[in-house]
Structures are given as structure tokens and as C-alpha cells.
Amino acid sequence: MNKIIILTVFLIFSQLCAHSQTTITKWKDDKKGAVSITFDDGNRNQFKYALPILERLQLPATFYVITGPIIGSQYPGKFIGRNVDDIIKETATIPTDSTNYFERASAAKYLNRIGADAYYDKSAIAFEDGKIDKAYKIMDTLYQKARNGSFKTGIEYSDEVAQEMGLSWDSIKVYASKGYEFASHTVTHTHLAVLDTTNINYELYKSKEDIRNHLGDEYTFDAEIPFGIEHPRALKYGFPAYAALRNMVRDSFMFEINRGYKTQPGSSDKEYVQWQRGPLSKTTLDQMKSYIDTTLAHNNIWLVLVFHGINGLGWEALPDSVLAAYFHYIKQNESNLWITTFKEAGKYMRERMHTTVTENKNDKKISVQLTQSLDEHVYNVPLTLKTYVPKNWKSVKVVQGNHQQKLQPKNDASGNYILYDAMPGKTNIELSVL
């Protein structure tokens, strides 16, 4: 009786194994975690100081740039709507309320008046904090000052735009050709939650169009809406515009810990954890290194690092010497960490979670089929497959379409295996003994 049960269990177990010899590794090349280095605002010191360090270490990174001010852009910041003088005039008799707030906020930066920007910012922050009446009142003050001549005439630039001045598409193209990701940080780095629909969409889609026209579709996968905003109104328009936003994770298989949060990444049992850390000027190098150590101590963490200012220019500026030491530390751990752009990491995880693997085998051949439910024109990052092979296969040929690899098996507790790259959703993969 016992023998029959044991035999049955053995048969079921061996059947299961026969169908699950190939898996997609959690991270590319079967590493223990992923790290994406990202920079916001297109700050010129990022290209002057950080990029040369990254290039020297051969580390990839993602730059979220404000597209309007970039030299060569087709779409500068602008207000789309009625004549601003008519709007200013109207504010003398009609107080700001829910019917006109978004229009007034959208026009506020384009009144040709120096000083209006500070009121616009305060009003937007109040709105984002849910203090709606306060937001309306500040908007009323802004327009009152515009009417009574309190502001000087002229154009003013936000700090972020001023930090980016001088950046051109010509230089971005050179950086992109070296493997750096460039992605949208909107047209003008403004508060999207307070704009009207037309102007929100201009910020999102014209930024995307300039990126597409200069770099190609491949760079329009993700974006970061300014100020790390998580306001539902900004995200309502942002999510349909881009496949991914660094602002907020939408994938049900991923737990997100945002920059300011203290939650420890080990506490989630989700398949993946996106752990964002944004080192500030007071953050020590040891603290920054500990993010890497924590990522290595688990197997499901995607560490997304967010940097802004460098060497005195920009928000929470860090000295380049600290960045150099930190990037060097990251590089030292490259054998265990997949260091990649935001886009590549984001695509890999989605591909893996939306791909099913089937396998057929005989003594001489194993054929593997990947079936993916995503658009393969967008989701084009090679997946790492791990296939267990018979002990007597000393060398293995892997063929997928025109792509051939020759590999020597490694081994772990479960047997001999090979790790290899495969494109999702493409033709069969054939493994054979050499």
C-alpha cells in the first residue's frame, strides 16, 4: 500500500518536473535584484558631472528631461485657451471657483508678469493638499496683483527650467546613442493637477511628441510627472499617456515604496517591490550604500534611485565626489545586481509576469515556447531563461530565429542548467546537445 502511494507521488512529481524545467528568471541573468539610477529635471550639472562618472564606470541611467526648453524642441511651454487679458479682466468681477480655477491656473504662468509664478506654486500646492478654498484665494490674489500692476512685466522661468537651460537635442542624441534613457518630465515642469484638460494634455503629449520626433518611439515608454505627484487628477491624465510612470506603480504584482516612505522593502510578499530612494544633501554615503546592501539581501527588490541637484545646482544638490563613490559601490556589486534603465527593468518584469513557458523534450532536443499577451513591439526586452538539461549535455546550442548561442551548463542543487536570453513572443527556442 505504502509503496503504491510512494510510486504515485513519484510519478506525479516527475510529471510536474517534466513540464517545469524552464523558467524565466526573476531578474535578467538570474541576478538578485535590480537598480535603476534616475535623474530629474535635465539639470546641466547632471551631464557635466554625473554622466562622465557613469560613462567611465559603464553604468546606464535614465534622465527625465523637461522638453519645452530643450534647444531644438518643437513644442515650448504655452497656454492654450482664451486671450489672457480677457481672463485677467474677468477676475475683477468673478471670484475664483471650481468653474474657472483650472483655466486661471493654466494661464497663470503665461501672464507675462514676473512674480506670478510664486503665487501659482502656492495655490497649486494648496490644491494638491486638498485645501481648495485656500487655493482659490491665492489665485484671486495672483490675479488681483496682475490687474493692479504689482508685478513687473516679463517672463520668468521656474528653477528647474533655469537649471536645464542650454541642453540640446543634439547632445541628448549623443548620450542616447551610448545607451542612456531619456524620458519625459513634461513640457514645462508644472503642477499638472491644477491645469485644465487641454493644457494637461499639452504637457503630457507634446512632450512625448518632441521625444518621439528626436529619439524615436522607444523613448516614450515611461515618464515622471513633476514633483513626484500622486494627485489623482494628474495621474488620471498621466496613466493613459505613458505605459509607466515613475510617480506610481500600477502593476498588481508589484509593491511600491515611494521616496519618502519608511516601510522596509522586506515586508512585502509580492513578486516584486519597487523601492524608491531619493538621496538628499543630508543623506550619508553609508545610508546610500545600505540601499544596495538591502537590495542584495532579498530577491525581489527593484531599487529606483532618484537624483536631482549636483554641485550646488538644483534641488538637494549632492557633491559629485559622493556620487562617484556611490556609483563605484554600485558597480562593485554588478555581478549580483542588474543595473539598468527604468524602462528596461519595467518592461522585463511585465514581460515575465505576462509570459507562459511551455516545453517539450526528448533525449537530444528541448523546445521551449514563450507565449506573451503584451504588445511585442513595445515589450522587446530579452528575457533570461533557465532550462535544466540532461547531465550528459556538456555543451548546448540554443537557437531562436536567427539568433544562436553556445553555452556550457552550470549546476545547482536541482541539476545542470543553462541561462540564456530569449525574445518574448517570438519563434520557438530549440536547445540541443552539441
To the nearest whole angstrom, how small is the minimum distance from the Cβ of residue 224 to Zn ion?
7
Residue with cell 541573468: 29
3-state SS, 88-108, equals: HHHCCCCCCCCCCHHHHHHHH
Closer Cβ to Zn ion, 41 or 128, answer by number:
41
Instruction: Single out the segment in contact with Zn ion by CB under 5 A; choices: 170-178, 222-230, 335-343, 416-424.
Output: 222-230
To the nearest whole angstrom, how small is the minimum distance from the Cβ of residue 295 to Zn ion?
24
To the nearest whole angstrom, how small is the minimum distance from the Cβ of residue 122 to Zn ion?
18
Closer Cβ to Zn ion, 186 or 387, answer by number:
186
Number of residues lying near Zn ion (CB under 5 A): 3
Using CB under 5 A as the binding rule, whether residue 226 contacts Zn ion is answered as: yes
Distance CA 28, CA 352 (A): 10
Instruction: Output the CA–CA distances (angstroms, integers) from residue 103 to 162, 169, 196, in the order listed.
Output: 25, 31, 6
* Residue facing Zn ion at closest CB distance: 40
Instruction: Single out the segment in contact with Zn ion by CB under 5 A; choices: 226-234, 370-378, 415-423, 426-434.
Output: 226-234
To the nearest whole angstrom, how small is the minimum distance from the Cβ of residue 225 to Zn ion?
9
Instruction: Output the CA–CA distances (angstroms, integers) from residue 305 to 227, 268, 279, 326, in the order listed.
Output: 15, 19, 8, 11
Instruction: Single out the segment in contact with Zn ion by CB under 5 A; choices: 195-203, 223-231, 254-262, 406-414.
Output: 223-231
To the nearest whole angstrom, how small is the minimum distance from the Cβ of residue 161 to Zn ion?
10
To the nearest whole angstrom, how small is the minimum distance from the Cβ of residue 160 to Zn ion?
5
Sign of the torsion angle spanned by Cα atoms 385, 388, 390, 393 = positive
Q: CB within 8 A of 336, min separation 6: which ones?
A: 31, 32, 33, 296
To the nearest whole angstrom, how small is the minimum distance from the Cβ of residue 176 to Zn ion?
20
Closer Cβ to Zn ion, 40 or 222, answer by number:
40
Using CB under 5 A as the binding rule, whether residue 351 contacts Zn ion is answered as: no
Closer Cβ to Zn ion, 69 or 226, answer by number:
226
Distance CA 209, CA 70 (A): 13
To the nearest whole angstrom, how small is the minimum distance from the Cβ of residue 119 to Zn ion?
20
Rule CB under 5 A: which of 8-67 touch Zn ion?
A: 40-41
Closer Cβ to Zn ion, 181 or 351, answer by number:
181
Closer Cβ to Zn ion, 116 or 225, answer by number:
225
- The DSSP call for residue 216 is -
Instruction: Single out the segment in contact with Zn ion by CB under 5 A; choices: 132-140, 218-226, 352-360, 395-403.
Output: 218-226
SS3 state of residue 245: strand
Closest-CA residue to 383 (of 37, 23, 18): 23
Closer Cβ to Zn ion, 63 or 136, answer by number:
63
Distance CA 385, CA 422 (A): 7
Closer Cβ to Zn ion, 226 or 238, answer by number:
226
To the nearest whole angstrom, how small is the minimum distance from the Cβ of residue 204 to Zn ion?
15
Closer Cβ to Zn ion, 33 or 226, answer by number:
226
Instruction: Single out the segment in contact with Zn ion by CB under 5 A; choices: 219-227, 263-271, 289-297, 348-356.
Output: 219-227
Phi/psi at 362 (5° precision): -135, -165
Number of continuous H segments (helices) and E segments (strands) in the chain: 15, 20
Instruction: Single out the segment in contact with Zn ion by CB under 5 A; choices: 55-63, 74-82, 224-232, 403-411.
Output: 224-232
Buried b (16+ CB within 10 A) or exposed e, 54-73: beeeebbbbbbbbbbbbeeb
Burial of 347 (0-12, 13-18, 19+ CB in 10 A): buried
To the nearest whole angstrom, how small is the minimum distance from the Cβ of residue 64 to Zn ion?
7
Distance CA 385, CA 431 (A): 12
Using CB under 5 A as the binding rule, whether residue 344 contacts Zn ion is answered as: no
> How many other C-beta atoms lie within 10 A of the C-beta of residue 338?
22
Rule CB under 5 A: which of 296-325 touch Zn ion?
A: none
Annotate 305-333 with DSSP letters as a single string. EEE--BTTBSTT-B-HHHHHHHHHHHHHT
Q: Which residues bind Zn ion (CB under 5 A)?
A: 40-41, 226
